[in-house]
Amino acid sequence: MRILLVEDEPRLAENLGQAFREIGLAVDHAPDGPTGEYLARQGVYDAIVLDLMLPGKSGQALLRDLRRDKKATPVLVLTAQEGKESIVELLNSGADDYLSKPFDLGELIARVKAAIRRGKGVADPILRIADVEVNTLQQTVLRAGHLVDVSPTEFRILEYLLHRPRAVVSKQELLEHLYDYDWAHHSNVIEAHISNLRRKLDTSGREPLIETLRHRGYRLRRERDATA
């Protein structure tokens, strides 16, 4: 999952970025309103964490413009403003959630994860397909009840695919959603991770869980297909 952090306060952005990366999210940081808007319009983010007082363009205006242009990325607003009215106004102008400063880092992370889930149309933090169970909170993967040891990147790929069952996900999309923009993008890396994932998840004699569609990308098989 890749999120956009729009925050002008460098130290806060640094801390939040590091915290998000440590839980396995790819983070892009925008230090001001216009940059934030430009990045948000790319449509590659699974959630946006938005500060309100930004140089160049206020968070509120940014949010309103995004929503007007039908960009539906979940937005969590960080606000230091007082008062119920501004919160109501915020939610009405398209924010999905808000947190007032000073916030609890754990709460922020939980809320960002929830925002990502809801953005994908999922309410349960435990994702299931066939006999695979992915716990997004504990970051564990179970296959037929047995714990499978996956690397963080493999986990993120699997999590992303699980959020989009039956859809064909291209390598480009995976790259966009798994890595920050500072990362060197190599589709070979994705291929290697997918291959590792297959090896760890698939038991012999069964259809592979992750299906490769040549020149198009990857797709998760649903239960029926897997047991057929």
Partner 1 sequence: MKPRSLTRRLTMTVLLFELLSFGALVSAAIVYERHTHFKAFDVMLRGRADSLLGAVQDADDAADNVILDTTGLDEHGADLYRVEDEKSRILGESDKKGWLNAAPAGDGISSVNIDGKGYRFIRIHGVRVVDPGEHGGVSHAISVVYGVRTGHVWHEIFASVRFYAITSLIALGLTAIAMTWMMRRGLAPLYELTGKAEQLSAARLDFEAPQSAKETRELRPLSLALESALARLDRSFRQQKRLTSDAAHELKTDVAIAKSSLQLLAMRPRSVEEYQQGLERCLEDNARVERTVHEMLALARVEHCETRAADGERARCAIRECVEKSIQQSEAFAQLRQVKVMLDASADAIVGIEERDSLLLCANLLLNALQHSPAGSTVRLSLAADEQAMILTVRDEGSGIDVGDLAHIFEPFYRGDDSRDRKSGGTGLGLSICRAICERAGGSIAIANRAGGGAVATVRLPILYSQDIDRASVEIKEEA
Site of interaction with partner 1 (CB under 8 A): 8-12, 15-16, 18-19, 22, 32, 53, 55-56, 78, 80-82, 100-106
Point out which residues pair with 49 in neighbouring strands. 5, 76
CB of 145 to partner 1, least distance (A): 27
Compute the residue count for the chain: 228
Opening angle at CA 227, ends 224 and 228, nearest 5: 80
Closest CA to 49 of 24, 80, 27, 82: 27
CB of 103 to partner 1, least distance (A): 6
CB of 13 to partner 1, least distance (A): 10
Judged by beta carbon, residue 108 or residue 174, the one nearer partner 1 is 108
CB of 51 to partner 1, least distance (A): 9
Point out which residues pair with 99 in neighbouring strands. 78
Judged by beta carbon, residue 108 or residue 148, the one nearer partner 1 is 108
Judged by beta carbon, residue 23 or residue 189, the one nearer partner 1 is 23
CB of 208 to partner 1, least distance (A): 33
Peptide bond connecting 125 to the previous residue in cis, omega within 30 degrees of 0: no
Judged by beta carbon, residue 19 or residue 142, the one nearer partner 1 is 19
Separation of alpha carbons 26 and 28, rounded Å: 7
Separation of alpha carbons 173 and 10, rounded Å: 29
Judged by beta carbon, residue 102 or residue 205, the one nearer partner 1 is 102
Separation of alpha carbons 203 and 226, rounded Å: 11
